[in-house]
Structure 1
C-alpha cells in the first residue's frame, strides 16, 4: 500500500516533540539490570521501545506501564535461566545489547530479528564478545543474526572494535561489561563515529552506579565489575524526531511552536538546531516552559553550506530533504555510517530525490559513500512514486520533501513511522496535510487525514 500526500502552502502550529528513543531504551536497560524498582518518566512508547521492553521482560524484568511513566523491577544483574528465543525484530540496538547480555546468563539464549536485521553487520561485536570469553554461534549465516549464545559467561579482559561501523557495538559491550567476572577494556581502532550515542551510554551507566571510564578520544574504555543501581529518570526530547518538524517549519513561512523541548541534550542530532540557524531560520528556547519556537518569515533558504554529520548521522535524510530547497548548495560529509543502517541512507535519498527532479550527487571518500551535495530549487513538479527503501527515516524525510512540490506524490513505507514517531502522520494532518492510502495507481483512495 502507498500513501498519497498532497502538497501544502504553509506549515505552522503547536506540536509535541516525541521523547528520546535512545534515552528511553538505555533507561529501560539500566533499570532492568538494577536491584530494586526504577521509574522512567516521559518515556517514548513506539515499536522499537516496545521491542526493548519485551526483550528485557524476557531477561527477567517486571515492567509496568503507567500513564506518563514506566515502573521496572530489576533483576539485580542475576539472570534467571530462561532458555528461550528473544526477538529483536528490526532493532539493531536490541539485538546487539541482548546478544552481549546473553553471554552472562546461565542458559543458552537464541537472539533473532527480522529480515532487515539479519542482513546487518554483526561480526565485530560477536568477535569482541568472543575475545571476552563468550560462546556465540550464528545459526544461519556466519557472523549474522540469528545467533545462539550458550551463556557461559564473560571472563573479562580486552576486546577490540572498529569505530567506523556502529557505535552500538561499543554500547553493547559497555552494558554487559559490569557483569563480567573481571575488568573489561575496549580498544577501538580508526576514527570513532557517532560519539554522542556512546556519551549517552556512558552517562546512563555512570548514573546507574557503574564504574566506567573513557579516554578523551573515545578509543579506550575501562569497566570494573559493578552493580547497577535503581533510580528515577526523566526522558528528554528526541532531536532526530524533532528534525522532521523543524525541517517542515524551515520549508514554509510562519511560526511553529514545539513542546516537550528541554533544550539541553547530549544527542548529536541536536545539531539540527544550529544548522537551521545557519540557514537563516530563527530557533529559540523557553526552557522554563519547555518550548522551542521556530520563526521563518521569508520561508526560503539561500546560500552555500557544508555540514559534517559524523556525530549526527540520523539527520542525514532530513538534511537531504532540506537541501532540495536550498537555493544554492548544501554539502553533507561524514555520513559513511549510514550505509550500515536499515537502508544505505545517502544512496536511498539521492536515488529517490533524483527521481523527483532534484539535483543531488553522492560524495565518495576512498570509494566509500560518505555524503552528498544537493543544489536546490524553489519547487519541483511532483507526481511521482517514491520508495522508503524499508527505512522509516527515509519515508519521513521524503514525505517532507514532497510537501513543497506542485503535485501529490506517493510513498511506500508509511506504516513504519510507528517504529520511532507514532504520531508523525497525525501531527502533519493537524498542520493541514491531506493524505490517502492507495493500493494501485488507478484504484480509489482511502482518506487517512
Structure 2
C-alpha cells in the first residue's frame, strides 16, 4: 500500500499513547523465557516483538528430541537474541532463518563469540549469514571477547543469557565501544532482577543467578517511536504542542537524547505525570551540530534527524553511523537516494552523512521504504512542508503498527495512492 501524505489542519494540542519500547520488550521477553516468574506490562505491539514472543512460545512447546525451523522474517533483534538463547537451551536443535534481507545481514561476530563459549552453531548456506543451525549446549566457559564497534545487539545477546550460564560471563570488548546506551539498558534490566553485573573499562561481567524473585516489570514507551513526533513538532508552527505517554525522565533508552538534540531544532520537552509535552519554540542555531553530531550511540534516530533538518532548511553533518549499513536496508545509501529525489544536496560515506542546507523541497515525490519501517516514519513528517508519497507504508508495523492512525488523529491526510496493480496514478 502506498500512502499520499499531506497535512490538513494540524491539531495544535494533541495526545498520543505509544506502546512499550521494542528494545526493552525484546530483552525482557528473553529474560522472561529464562526466568518464567517475571511478569511484563506495556510490552510493544510491534511485529518484531510478536515474532520474538512467538518463537519463544514455540520453543516451550517443542519436544526436546525434535528440531524446528523458526522464521523471524525481518526481525534483526530477534535473530541476534534468539541465536544466543537457543545456543544455551540444552538439548534443543533449531534452524533460525528470516527474510531475504535477513539472509544478507551478518551474524558471524555473534556466532564466533558463542563458539568461543562452546556453542554448536553452523551455517546452512553462506558462511557468516543466516540461516543458522543451533544445537543447544550446556555452557561452562565464561570468558569471551567481541569487537566493540559492532551492533550492540550482539553484545546484549551475550549479556542476556549470561545469568543462566554456570559461571556467568566475562565479556571483553575490543576497541572503541559504540551504542553504549543499549548495553547499559541491558545491564540495568539485569540489575532490576537483582542480577549482579559490572562494567569497567572494556570488560563487562555478569554473574550467574539460576533463579530470580517474582517481579512485575513495566516497559517504558518507545523513544525511537517518539522521535517522529519530535520531528513533527520541529516542522510545525510555533505554538504546536503534542503530549506523549508514558515516558521517564531517567530513561534506560539511549534515544531519550532526543530531548537535547531537538531542543536545538526548536522543540522544548516538558516531563509531567509520566508523559512528555513537546512544544514548538524558535530554532536558535542554524547549524546545531557544529562539527557534526555523533550518532554512534543512537543510530536509530539518525534518519529522523536528517529529514527534520531538510524540512527546516538547515544543513547537518552526522557521524558514527557505520551500523546503519547492516540494518533492514543500507540506511545511509537509502537516505542518499531518497533525499536526492526531494532535491537535497547530500553525500554519504561508510559511517557519515552530510546534508547541505536547501530551501526548496520537491513535492509529490514517491519515497521508497526498502522494507525498512524507519524510512517510512522518518520521511512522513515532511508532509507538513510538501505532499509526499510513502511506498509500502504498511512496513511501519515492524515497530509501530498504529503510526498512520496516530498521524491521522494529528490532522494528517493519509490517503491510499495508486491503482490495484500497484502503479502510481496521476495526481
**Same fold (TM > 0.5):** yes
Q: Quote the residue 2:21 is aligned against.
A: 20
The C-alpha deviation readout for 1:60-118, integer Å capped at 9, x for no partner, is 289xxxxxxxxxxxxxxxx9555322232211221122111212221322122121211
**Cα offset, 1:7, TM superposition:** 4.2
Q: What pairs with 1:281-430 in structure 2 (closer than 5 Å)?
A: 281-286=267-272, 289-298=273-282, 303-306=286-289, 307-362=293-348, 364=349, 369-405=350-386, 408-430=387-409
Q: Quote the residue 1:112 is aligned against.
A: 97
Q: What pairs with 1:139-158 in structure 2 (closer than 5 Å)?
A: 139-158=124-143
The C-alpha deviation readout for 1:179-210, integer Å capped at 9, x for no partner, is 33434321111211111111111112222233
Gap runs ≥5 in structure 2 = none
Q: How many residues align?
A: 416
Q: Quote the residue 2:256 is aligned against.
A: 270
Q: Does 1:198 align with 2:177?
A: no
**Cα offset, 1:9, TM superposition:** 6.5
Check whether the contact 1:379–1:404 (CA below 8 A) recurs between aligned residues. Answer: no
Q: C-alpha separation between the residues in 2 aligned to 1:316 and 1:423?
A: 22
- Quote the RMSD (CA, aligned, Å): 2.3
Check whether the contact 1:30–1:228 (CA below 8 A) recurs between aligned residues. Answer: no
User: In 2 relative to 1, CA 243–156 (structure 1 residues): closer, same or farther, beyond 3 Å?
Assistant: same
**Cα offset, 1:379, TM superposition:** 4.8
Q: C-alpha separation between the residues in 2 aligned to 1:210 and 1:417?
A: 35
TM-score by length of 1: 0.87
Gap runs ≥5 in structure 1 = 63-78
Check whether the contact 1:11–1:248 (CA below 8 A) recurs between aligned residues. Answer: no
Q: Quote the residue 1:86 is aligned against.
A: 70
Q: Quote the residue 1:98 is aligned against.
A: 82
Q: Quote the residue 2:46 is aligned against.
A: 46
Q: C-alpha separation between the residues in 2 aligned to 1:183 and 1:389?
A: 39
**Cα offset, 1:172, TM superposition:** 1.1
Check whether the contact 1:301–1:325 (CA below 8 A) recurs between aligned residues. Answer: no
Q: C-alpha separation between the residues in 2 aligned to 1:206 and 1:297?
A: 38
Q: Does 1:435 align with 2:414?
A: yes
TM-score by length of 2: 0.91
Check whether the contact 1:302–1:326 (CA below 8 A) recurs between aligned residues. Answer: no
**Cα offset, 1:442, TM superposition:** 5.5
Q: Between the two structures, name the one with larger relative contact order (CA 8 Å, sep ≥ 6).
A: 2
Q: Quote the residue 1:174 is aligned against.
A: 159
